[in-house]
Amino acid sequence: MWAGLGLALVLCLLPGGGTEHQGHCKEPPEWSIEEENPMMKSRGTVTVVALLQARIVPRLEDLQLKLGSSGLVNITFIVVNHQGHHSQLKYHLLREKVSEDIPVYQQNATQPDVWASLRGKKDDFLIYDRCGRLVFHLGLPYTFLSFPYVEKAIQVAYCENTCGNCSYTVCIHFSLSLLYRSI
Protein backbone atom coordinates (compact mmCIF):
# COMPACT_ATOMS: atom_id res chain seq x y z
CA MET A 1 0.00 0.00 0.00
CA TRP A 2 2.78 2.47 0.88
CA ALA A 3 4.48 1.93 -2.48
CA GLY A 4 1.24 2.87 -4.25
CA LEU A 5 0.79 5.95 -2.10
CA GLY A 6 4.38 6.94 -2.78
CA LEU A 7 3.88 6.58 -6.54
CA ALA A 8 0.64 8.53 -6.43
CA LEU A 9 2.34 11.30 -4.46
CA VAL A 10 5.30 11.41 -6.86
CA LEU A 11 3.00 11.51 -9.88
CA CYS A 12 0.91 14.30 -8.34
CA LEU A 13 4.02 16.39 -7.77
CA LEU A 14 5.13 16.07 -11.39
CA PRO A 15 4.37 18.93 -13.79
CA GLY A 16 0.92 18.25 -15.19
CA GLY A 17 0.37 15.64 -12.49
CA GLY A 18 1.90 12.88 -14.59
CA THR A 19 -1.54 11.41 -15.15
CA GLU A 20 -4.70 12.33 -16.92
CA HIS A 21 -7.09 13.06 -14.05
CA GLN A 22 -10.17 13.24 -16.24
CA GLY A 23 -11.54 9.72 -16.54
CA HIS A 24 -9.49 8.30 -13.65
CA CYS A 25 -11.11 5.09 -12.35
CA LYS A 26 -13.61 5.04 -15.19
CA GLU A 27 -13.86 2.56 -18.00
CA PRO A 28 -12.43 3.71 -21.31
CA PRO A 29 -14.71 4.94 -24.06
CA GLU A 30 -15.80 2.22 -26.46
CA TRP A 31 -13.19 1.67 -29.14
CA SER A 32 -12.38 -1.07 -31.58
CA ILE A 33 -10.03 -1.88 -34.41
CA GLU A 34 -12.03 -3.28 -37.30
CA GLU A 35 -14.54 -5.48 -35.43
CA GLU A 36 -12.21 -6.34 -32.53
CA ASN A 37 -12.53 -4.77 -29.07
CA PRO A 38 -9.11 -5.30 -27.40
CA MET A 39 -10.26 -3.94 -24.03
CA MET A 40 -13.06 -6.49 -23.76
CA LYS A 41 -10.64 -9.29 -24.67
CA SER A 42 -8.27 -8.22 -21.88
CA ARG A 43 -10.91 -8.07 -19.14
CA GLY A 44 -9.67 -9.82 -16.01
CA THR A 45 -6.05 -8.77 -16.55
CA VAL A 46 -4.20 -5.54 -15.86
CA THR A 47 -4.03 -3.90 -19.29
CA VAL A 48 -1.34 -1.57 -20.59
CA VAL A 49 -2.27 0.34 -23.73
CA ALA A 50 0.72 2.00 -25.42
CA LEU A 51 0.08 4.63 -28.09
CA LEU A 52 3.15 4.31 -30.29
CA GLN A 53 4.51 5.10 -33.72
CA ALA A 54 7.33 3.36 -35.58
CA ARG A 55 10.14 5.81 -34.77
CA ILE A 56 11.53 4.84 -31.37
CA VAL A 57 9.71 1.94 -29.78
CA PRO A 58 10.32 1.04 -26.13
CA ARG A 59 11.25 -2.55 -25.31
CA LEU A 60 7.89 -3.60 -23.92
CA GLU A 61 8.90 -7.27 -23.82
CA ASP A 62 11.76 -6.40 -21.45
CA LEU A 63 9.29 -4.75 -19.10
CA GLN A 64 6.92 -7.70 -19.47
CA LEU A 65 9.71 -10.15 -18.55
CA LYS A 66 10.84 -8.03 -15.60
CA LEU A 67 7.30 -7.87 -14.23
CA GLY A 68 6.84 -11.60 -14.79
CA SER A 69 10.03 -12.44 -12.93
CA SER A 70 8.64 -10.41 -10.00
CA GLY A 71 5.52 -12.57 -9.99
CA LEU A 72 3.30 -10.09 -11.83
CA VAL A 73 1.81 -12.21 -14.59
CA ASN A 74 -1.41 -11.97 -16.55
CA ILE A 75 -0.69 -8.45 -17.76
CA THR A 76 -1.97 -7.62 -21.22
CA PHE A 77 0.12 -5.26 -23.33
CA ILE A 78 -1.56 -3.62 -26.33
CA VAL A 79 0.05 -1.25 -28.83
CA VAL A 80 -2.11 1.05 -30.95
CA ASN A 81 -0.47 2.70 -33.94
CA HIS A 82 -1.39 6.26 -34.92
CA GLN A 83 -4.21 6.62 -37.44
CA GLY A 84 -2.36 9.02 -39.78
CA HIS A 85 -1.32 8.03 -43.30
CA HIS A 86 2.42 8.20 -42.51
CA SER A 87 1.95 5.89 -39.51
CA GLN A 88 -0.08 3.45 -41.59
CA LEU A 89 2.76 3.25 -44.10
CA LYS A 90 5.23 2.50 -41.29
CA TYR A 91 3.01 -0.05 -39.49
CA HIS A 92 5.23 -2.96 -40.58
CA LEU A 93 8.25 -1.26 -38.94
CA LEU A 94 6.34 -0.87 -35.68
CA ARG A 95 5.19 -4.51 -35.85
CA GLU A 96 8.82 -5.63 -36.35
CA LYS A 97 10.01 -3.69 -33.29
CA VAL A 98 7.44 -5.20 -30.92
CA SER A 99 7.47 -8.78 -29.66
CA GLU A 100 5.14 -11.25 -31.39
CA ASP A 101 3.45 -11.78 -28.01
CA ILE A 102 2.20 -8.17 -27.93
CA PRO A 103 -0.59 -7.26 -30.35
CA VAL A 104 -0.02 -4.15 -32.46
CA TYR A 105 -3.22 -2.66 -33.81
CA GLN A 106 -3.37 -0.61 -37.00
CA GLN A 107 -6.25 1.82 -36.99
CA ASN A 108 -8.50 2.01 -40.00
CA ALA A 109 -8.73 5.56 -41.39
CA THR A 110 -12.51 5.20 -41.72
CA GLN A 111 -13.08 4.42 -38.02
CA PRO A 112 -13.01 6.89 -35.13
CA ASP A 113 -9.45 7.66 -33.98
CA VAL A 114 -8.63 5.54 -30.91
CA TRP A 115 -5.97 7.98 -29.72
CA ALA A 116 -8.50 10.85 -29.78
CA SER A 117 -11.13 8.68 -28.03
CA LEU A 118 -8.62 7.90 -25.26
CA ARG A 119 -7.43 11.53 -25.13
CA GLY A 120 -3.95 10.23 -25.79
CA LYS A 121 -0.82 11.40 -27.52
CA LYS A 122 2.26 9.75 -28.97
CA ASP A 123 4.08 7.59 -26.41
CA ASP A 124 1.28 7.72 -23.82
CA PHE A 125 0.69 4.67 -21.64
CA LEU A 126 -2.77 3.99 -20.24
CA ILE A 127 -2.88 1.45 -17.42
CA TYR A 128 -6.18 -0.23 -16.55
CA ASP A 129 -7.08 -2.49 -13.63
CA ARG A 130 -8.61 -5.95 -14.07
CA CYS A 131 -12.10 -4.44 -14.32
CA GLY A 132 -11.03 -2.17 -17.16
CA ARG A 133 -10.92 1.06 -15.15
CA LEU A 134 -8.24 3.63 -15.91
CA VAL A 135 -5.72 3.75 -13.05
CA PHE A 136 -2.97 5.83 -14.72
CA HIS A 137 -2.56 7.79 -17.94
CA LEU A 138 1.13 8.60 -18.28
CA GLY A 139 2.70 10.84 -20.90
CA LEU A 140 6.20 11.84 -21.84
CA PRO A 141 8.73 12.06 -20.26
CA TYR A 142 7.30 9.67 -17.65
CA THR A 143 6.83 6.88 -20.20
CA PHE A 144 10.51 6.41 -20.94
CA LEU A 145 10.98 2.85 -19.72
CA SER A 146 14.39 3.76 -18.31
CA PHE A 147 12.43 5.63 -15.61
CA PRO A 148 10.41 3.62 -13.05
CA TYR A 149 7.02 5.33 -13.58
CA VAL A 150 5.37 2.88 -16.01
CA GLU A 151 6.58 -0.16 -14.07
CA LYS A 152 5.42 1.30 -10.73
CA ALA A 153 2.06 2.31 -12.19
CA ILE A 154 1.54 -1.26 -13.43
CA GLN A 155 2.49 -2.61 -9.99
CA VAL A 156 -0.08 -0.30 -8.34
CA ALA A 157 -2.80 -1.36 -10.80
CA TYR A 158 -1.86 -5.00 -10.23
CA CYS A 159 -1.46 -5.06 -6.44
CA GLU A 160 -3.85 -2.42 -5.11
CA ASN A 161 -7.52 -1.61 -5.42
CA THR A 162 -6.91 2.03 -6.36
CA CYS A 163 -10.30 2.27 -8.07
CA GLY A 164 -12.16 0.18 -5.50
CA ASN A 165 -13.05 -3.47 -5.45
CA CYS A 166 -12.96 -5.38 -8.70
CA SER A 167 -15.15 -8.42 -9.21
CA TYR A 168 -12.30 -10.18 -11.04
CA THR A 169 -10.04 -9.72 -8.02
CA VAL A 170 -12.78 -10.80 -5.62
CA CYS A 171 -13.45 -13.92 -7.68
CA ILE A 172 -9.77 -14.85 -7.59
CA HIS A 173 -9.61 -14.40 -3.80
CA PHE A 174 -12.95 -16.16 -3.36
CA SER A 175 -11.82 -19.12 -5.48
CA LEU A 176 -8.58 -19.43 -3.54
CA SER A 177 -10.39 -19.37 -0.21
CA LEU A 178 -12.71 -22.14 -1.42
CA LEU A 179 -9.67 -24.15 -2.52
CA TYR A 180 -8.01 -23.80 0.88
CA ARG A 181 -11.23 -24.80 2.69
CA SER A 182 -11.49 -27.98 0.63
CA ILE A 183 -7.93 -29.08 1.48
> Residue 137's beta-bridge partner residues?
126
Q: pLDDT tens digits, residue range 112-165?
A: 999 999 999 999 999 999 999 999 999 999 999 999 999 999 999 999 988 988
Residues 6+ apart with CB under 8 A from 152: 3, 7
pTM, two decimals, is: 0.80
